[in-house]
Amino acid sequence: MTDAEKIAQTILARLGEQHAGKLPPDRQSMRLDELEPLARAVIATTAGETLSASGAVYVSHAAAVEYAREEDLGIEPARRELTELLLDARQVTGDPTQWRMRKRSTDLDLTARVARDGRLLVITSVHVRTRNSGGRRG
């Protein structure tokens, strides 16, 4: 996530707090509403960025095990395949920790939870949806 995206996400979070009455009284007078269009514009312009363009991708052991179990693969082949597939994933709108990749040619739909550690993007878990769930496609 870029600095601009972080700022935009913070603005939108504060807007939600302000509208829910969760901001302290001394901060209630903030004019965050004026910044909402800017925050949404920043998110919209950066939303098309792929996971690989956002940093170095690393698939955790836990995510590799989840994918291996779902696709009936060994752990290391699953880690390699999952890494390759998620390079083109795009960030899910409204949740900076989730990235999604859909591949119609194989009926594969992956949603990955990603934790950022500097430029390293760690895939901590993955949810796999396929028409042939529970085994290799083909």
Q: Are residues 58 and 121 both part of a single domain? A: yes
User: Is residue 120 situated within a structural domain?
Assistant: yes
Sign for the pseudo-dihedral over CA of 46, 51, 57, 59: positive
Write out the residue range of the structural domain in which residue 108 sits. Answer: 51-130
Is the domain of 20 the same as that of 61?
no
- Same domain as 97, residue 115: yes
Q: Is the dihedral of CA 111, 120, 48, 104 positive or negative?
A: negative
In a domain, 136, yes or no: no
Q: Is residue 137 part of a domain?
A: no
pTM for the full model? 0.60
Tell me, yes or no, whether 72 and 108 share the same domain: yes
Q: Does 105 or 31 have the greater pLDDT score?
A: 105
Asked if the structure places residue 32 within a domain, the reply is yes
Q: What is the pLDDT of residues 82-119, one digit of tens each?
A: 999 999 898 887 788 899 998 888 788 999 999 988 88
Q: pLDDT for 116-137, tens place per residue?
A: 888 899 999 999 997 655 555 4
